[in-house]
Amino acid sequence: MIRKYSYGQVFKTESVPAALPAETGAMPYMAVDEKEMSLTRTMDPEDIVYGLGENVRGINKRGWIYESKCSDESKHLEDRRSLYAAHNFIVVSGKATFGLFIDYPGILTFDVGYTDLSVLKITASDWNLDVYVIEGDSVTDIVSQFRALIGRSYIAPLWAFGNGQSRWGYVTAEDVREVVRKHREGGIPLDMVYLDIDYMERFKDFTVNRERFPDFADFVRKLKEENIRLIPIIDAAVKEEKGYPVYDEGIEKGYFCTDKDGKPFVGAVWPGRSLFTDMLNKEARDWFGDKYRFLLDQGIEGFWNDMNEPSIFYAEDRLSEVLEEIAGMREGGQNLDLPAFSHFQDLVGSLSANAEDYKKFYHSVDGRRIRHDKVHNLYGYNMTRAAGEAFERLVPDKRILMFSRASCIGMHRYGGIWQGDNKSYWAHILLNLKMLPSLNMCGFLYTGADIGGFGSDTTEDLVMRWYALGIFTPLMRNHSEMGTRRQEVYRFRDLQGFKEIIGLRYKLLPYLYSEYMKAVLDNKMMFRPLAFDHPQDGRCATVEDQLYLGDELMIAPVYEQNARGRYVYLPERMKMLKYTREGVFEEKILEKGDHYVQVGLSDVVFFLREGHLIPLSGGGQCVADVDFDNLSILSFGEDASYEYYHDDGVSKDYDNPANRKTLRA
């Protein structure tokens, strides 16, 4: 059961497509304090708090304070309070189990036992919000109801489940050709190469640098003949440059965000002085979305949206103030003592993503001017919505790959997300795992992390262990930052190990795609904490480094350097499957309980539940090579069966009953 409670003058975020009438009585479970603008609950010691989508720390969110504030935050550390997303959905599981969704576009704070270990307190920046209270038979039932409430999740094309290679630094067409050539020569499956900002003409959206990519459309066509898709990046900011058509049109039609005086707001991102399309203005959103046609017409079938929190390197007026004060320091002598030097550092640090700068520009919504900070978390959502709605107009019968960095609930209907600019840290393998169920709860199914880590120098063993998790996530992409160690797998010593791990992804594709599609269509979670399936097993409530994938598998990656294996807890009898560098499965039945499992560096270990089976293909060098009809089976137990979903992977006849059939051992 879902009940809605409305407070103040609610801004319509469209995160919830259907209109529910508001209740008039008191809200259950939470104490409402309109003066303090908060919702509060005293938690029982055993209560677990799940959700919040993309964020730091554990699957159980107790013990920290989180902000729903889309932030350009590259330090994914325990002391952070927000990352790139605002996913305002939680489930409290305990003696009373219920879900809460706060439909609110501004900054929201979730104090989940931080100030007081026993108190959950949610505080808004102003008191204009809808609160949905969801009750059900279980956590999974509550999640399923919520997913139905917010609408069907984005569905990616089948080829987007292949292996993707990316790096900020593929500057020319020849750089891309080398990546493809090295993968094919090494027998490493590959379906996508991503283009970061270097393909553009001086960082301008919807342009191509013709010197670096002389005949872009022909280049795209020839790569597609090799079953390789190019996936270009699109940034949120538009370069200020007369003669640049996107800028000129936006100025002429008034489609950019404005300052308090009604003039276009100028900030800076990659191109320097930049303007920001008013994504909350429907006309501006449609206009920006139609710009994707420039690349669609050249054969592009997928995009990734970036810098759309939106990221602001500096605002013009603040830069002037900081430079003026620094100039004054120079005139007064450069002998900076500790307080003066600290002030200097704070000055420079105040330039980027300054909270005050987000109060300096405005959106035009239905004839009203709304200050950006009041609706901040809607920007990335509506940028990706602009693209998704344009794709429906421009290529209505075709699926286009789309995922974004910034998001809030509602954007899940238009694209997936990647888990942001992580680092080459072993701890970030585990963070990748922990985010998966939280994101699934919030409707984000097409997701994954930058394998190997985006920032910092990686190591061969880190990349290999990360792939052993990444082959299970819908979005599978190796991505790294310019200036860091190159981490394409063909650059490392154990090419055979990487070849077999990535090859296993393609053998698992019939199962993985089937589970993804069923999770989308049936409002289920592809990845679940063990406690969701075993609520009476207290041990499962503490396990945060193992997940169920579908109803059939349990995954438990190795995430510590130099480890030769790991301990796993089995809440029931399972069959351990170890895929080795020889390309074969070793099988062993393990009873319920604790086990130490040896996992060689190039091994992939996962667990099959009793009474279940999974389908396997023969693999391939790209998704087009994979045979989804002539399948082999891995099974455990008598009378094992599996509901197998498959479609053409391109069109949108998702609900056709012919897409589902039962496989039996």
Alpha helices (H) in 254-337, listed in sequence order:
282-290, 293-296, 316-331
Mean pLDDT over 275-303 rounds to 98
Q: Rounded to whole angstroms, how far apart are CA atoms 87 and 103?
A: 9
* C-alpha dist (Å) from residue 492 to 195, 290, 489, 497: 22, 42, 6, 10
pTM higher than the cut 0.95 = yes
Answer with the residue of higher pLDDT: 337 or 138.
138
Residue 204 has pLDDT above 90, yes or no: yes
Residue 552 has pLDDT above 80, yes or no: yes
* C-alpha dist (Å) from residue 638 to 578, 612, 661: 21, 9, 19
Residue with token string 């019939």: 510
Sheet holding 527-529, edge to edge: 527-529, 547-549, 553-555, 604-609, 574-579, 585-590
The tokens describing 260, both together, are 């308090």
The tokens describing 111, both together, are 């104090």
Q: Residue 185: helix, strand or coil by DSSP? A: helix
The tokens describing 370, both together, are 């709304």
Query: What pLDDT score was predicted for residue 339?
Result: 86
pLDDT in tens, 18-65: 999 999 999 999 999 999 999 999 999 999 999 999 999 999 999 999
Residue 199 has pLDDT above 90, yes or no: yes
Q: Rounded to whole angstroms, how far apart are CA atoms 584 and 173?
A: 37
Would you tell me the crossing angle of helices 316-331 and 338-349 to the nearest 10 degrees? 160
Query: What pLDDT score was predicted for residue 347?
Result: 87
Domain ranges of the chain: 2-150, 153-238+270-311+371-418, 317-349, 512-664
Strands 64-68 and 48-51: unpaired
Alpha helices (H) in 474-621, listed in sequence order:
495-521, 530-533
Query: What pLDDT score was predicted for residue 601?
Result: 98
For 187, phi then psi, to 5°, come to 70, 30
Class of the 512-664 domain? mainly beta
CA-based nearest residue to 279, from 186, 187, 361: 361
Residue with token string 């039996």: 664
Cβ atoms of 560 and 580 within 8 Å: the answer is no
Q: Rounded to whole angstroms, how far apart are CA atoms 347 and 359?
A: 19
Query: What pLDDT score was predicted for residue 266?
Result: 95
Mean pLDDT over 439-446 rounds to 98
* Number of Cα atoms under 13 Å in the Cβ half of residue 1: 5
Q: Residue 228: helix, strand or coil by DSSP? A: coil
Confidence of residue 320 (pLDDT cuts 50, 70, 90): confident
Residue 333 has pLDDT above 90, yes or no: no
DSSP state of 44: P
Mean pLDDT over 388-402 rounds to 98
Residue 445 has pLDDT above 80, yes or no: yes
Largest Cα–Cα separation, the chain: 84
Q: Rounded to whole angstroms, how far apart are CA atoms 273 and 255?
A: 17
Answer yes or no: same fold for 2-150 and 512-664.
yes
pLDDT in tens, 554-600: 999 999 999 999 999 999 999 999 999 999 999 999 999 999 999 99
For 186, phi then psi, to 5°, come to -85, 0
Strands (E) located in 316-434: 362-365, 368-371, 401-404, 407-408, 416-418
Residue 486 has pLDDT above 80, yes or no: yes
CATH superfamily for 2-150 is glycosyl hydrolase (family 31) (2.60.40.1760)
Residue 535 has pLDDT above 80, yes or no: yes
Percent of the chain surpassing pLDDT 90? 94
Average per-residue pLDDT in the chain? Answer: 97
Class of the 153-238+270-311+371-418 domain? alpha beta
Query: What pLDDT score was predicted for residue 335?
Result: 78
* C-alpha dist (Å) from residue 177 to 159, 180, 343: 19, 5, 48
Q: Rounded to whole angstroms, how far apart are CA atoms 504 and 574?
A: 20
The tokens describing 326, both together, are 């620094």
Q: Residue 516: helix, strand or coil by DSSP? A: helix
Query: What pLDDT score was predicted for residue 332?
Result: 66
Query: What pLDDT score was predicted for residue 540?
Result: 98
Q: Rounded to whole angstroms, how far apart are CA atoms 563 and 566?
A: 7
